[in-house]
Chain A
């Protein structure tokens, strides 16, 4: 299996590995995939009061391309609004990492993880509003 230099770089030096406090009202968590399918991605984002993503962390069980896809999106997410984050397309990830066709599903999973994390933070914000 030949990996692109960018995939190898993210695999060897993954960015933003870790977790954020999942109970923090400003933290959204997205966990997608399944162990039986060979990939599980967990993406956490921390959003400030102006709706900008301040921090992003990930953990991924999966192949080099899955690790690279999630590492890359944590870099992209910081500084974006959650709406900009929601607009990220898997094709942009696949293109940036030069993923071969058999690895496109890794970029799809990363997009799904972003969408799940954004949905989580929106649900938290809504719940907070209702409570207030």
Chain B
């Protein structure tokens, strides 16, 4: 096992670039190297055409007009541009309060925190224990001076899908600009911005088999949403995001999104089958808890806590698979995931959680290997665990008086 690479089950962190995507990118590095902004020669025209084709593919996957797509460096930049850009543009007319969810990605949370430092106020609404936003609580959290709300479509840690239509309708009725981080959603759930009441939406290429370093922001045209640029320069992307476009990256994202559009229906069916197999296998282990709602969830994600097993030893135990843990294991201590904490999970359960994320290149054999590995390692760690022994003896561990140390 030490001799081979661990099995990759961390598709929510990033995906490999699909070889078909890499193939179409390569000519735009050394062959068609023109600057897409060069208007005076064919080098520029070729690059511009490639960029615009790619923009159309991105738009097609999400039911948008290509003129509503702004290239960025990734979802973090898209989130920053949307949140800071819209909040600053509309602060004087709509107000200075921002509403978001406690389980958002750090790129949203920290962008809102930065706005707080600049004088905005913010609400970080706690989701329900299943990870979903309660619509009444969301509605109640809107204030007269709320300028912007930001809610992710699919959560990166637990994979739950928020009811974007319902949340968007609440925002529309209240005159609040609505931003959605959809980095984890493309190619996994159907997105139709013609129907969705969403003003701004962030996308990333590398979560959907495209390259890292490229993303996009959807900016609605009807009714038109304005944002203040965060990057100033040559006035690219209609002034919203200056900087020479990375043609090969744009082409890669376009091809990745085109493949997602054509293949997502069959791919998701296969992935759901693998997820069900993994879930059934892992549920054969006693005292396991799925984190987040199972129904309103992408099939790609399974986040499970294994009770009575300590987090750091669990991370050591699963070296044969590349997964993500609910504990950020720093050199000094374990930090439980803020997402799982927001769901009300205890520190112990948050620590003992593993996020399995399945993708395009996951096989049935990978899933079976993972189930066997988890079964044997959890069993071994529990054999070592005095807490497991107490649990088996019927002791209620929460009622034990532990000596402080």
Knowing A36-B347, A39-B310, A63-B313 touch, does A112 contact B387 (C-beta < 8 A)? no
B383 proximity list for chain A (CB < 8 A)? 17
Is A64 in the interface zone, CB < 8 Å from B? yes
Which residues of B, 299-347, contact A by the 8 Å Cβ criterion? 308-313, 316, 329, 331-334, 347
A37: nearest chain-B partner, CB-CB: B405
Give the CA-CA distance A19 to B389 in the complex, in Å.
10
A36 proximity list for chain B (CB < 8 A)? 347-348, 402
Query: Cβ of B403 and Cβ of A34 under 8 Å apart?
Result: yes
Query: Cβ of B403 and Cβ of A59 under 8 Å apart?
Result: no
A34 proximity list for chain B (CB < 8 A)? 402-405
B308: nearest chain-A partner, CB-CB: A61
B405 proximity list for chain A (CB < 8 A)? 32-34, 37, 105, 108-109, 112
Query: Cβ of B316 and Cβ of A40 under 8 Å apart?
Result: no
Interface core residue of B309, B313, B347, B388 (most chain A CB under 10 Å): B313
User: Which of B313, B331, B333, B348 interacts with A35 by CB under 8 Å?
Assistant: B348
Give the CA-CA distance A126 to B387 in the complex, in Å.
29
Query: Cβ of A102 and Cβ of B331 under 8 Å apart?
Result: yes
A67 proximity list for chain B (CB < 8 A)? 313, 384
A11 proximity list for chain B (CB < 8 A)? 313, 316
A sample of 7 inter-chain contacts (CB < 8 A) reads: A3-B316, A38-B310, A41-B386, A42-B389, A61-B387, A61-B388, A63-B312
Is B188 in the interface zone, CB < 8 Å from A? no
Query: Cβ of A59 and Cβ of B386 under 8 Å apart?
Result: yes
A40: nearest chain-B partner, CB-CB: B386
Is B244 in the interface zone, CB < 8 Å from A? no
A38 proximity list for chain B (CB < 8 A)? 310-312, 334, 351
B386 proximity list for chain A (CB < 8 A)? 31, 40-42, 59-61
A116: nearest chain-B partner, CB-CB: B403
A11: nearest chain-B partner, CB-CB: B316
Which residues of A, 33-90, contact B by the 8 Å Cβ criterion? 33-42, 59-64, 66-67
Given contact pairs A40-B385, A40-B387, A109-B405, enumerate 18 new A-B contacts (beta carbons under 8 Å).
Answer: A11-B313, A14-B384, A19-B389, A31-B386, A32-B403, A33-B402, A34-B402, A35-B402, A36-B347, A41-B386, A42-B386, A60-B386, A61-B308, A61-B309, A61-B384, A61-B385, A61-B387, A61-B388
Give the CA-CA distance A27 to B389 in the complex, in Å.
18
Knowing A32-B403, A34-B402 touch, does A102 contact B332 (C-beta < 8 A)? yes
Is B397 in the interface zone, CB < 8 Å from A? yes
Per-residue CB proximity of B344-374 to A under 8 Å, as 1/0?
Answer: 0001100100000000000000000000000
B347 proximity list for chain A (CB < 8 A)? 36
Give the CA-CA distance A102 to B312 in the complex, in Å.
13
A131 proximity list for chain B (CB < 8 A)? none
A112 proximity list for chain B (CB < 8 A)? 405
Is A128 in the interface zone, CB < 8 Å from B? no
Q: Nearest Cβ distance between residue B288 and chain A, in whole angstroms?
A: 17
Query: Cβ of B384 and Cβ of A59 under 8 Å apart?
Result: yes
Give the CA-CA distance A42 to B402 in the complex, in Å.
12
Give the CA-CA distance A108 to B405 in the complex, in Å.
10
Q: Nearest Cβ distance between residue A4 and chain B, in whole angstroms?
A: 13
B346: nearest chain-A partner, CB-CB: A36
Is A1 in the interface zone, CB < 8 Å from B? yes
Per-residue CB proximity of A97-132 to B under 8 Å, as 1/0?
Answer: 000101001001100100000000000000000000
Q: Nearest Cβ distance between residue A40 and chain B, in whole angstroms?
A: 5
Give the CA-CA distance A11 to B312 in the complex, in Å.
12
Give the CA-CA distance A25 to B310 in the complex, in Å.
32
A108 proximity list for chain B (CB < 8 A)? 405
Per-residue CB proximity of B96-125 to A under 8 Å, as 1/0?
Answer: 000000000000000000000000000000
Which residues of B, 373-405, contact A by the 8 Å Cβ criterion? 383-389, 397, 402-405
Knowing A31-B386, A41-B386, A67-B384 touch, does A61 contact B310 (C-beta < 8 A)? yes
Give the CA-CA distance A36 to B309 in the complex, in Å.
12
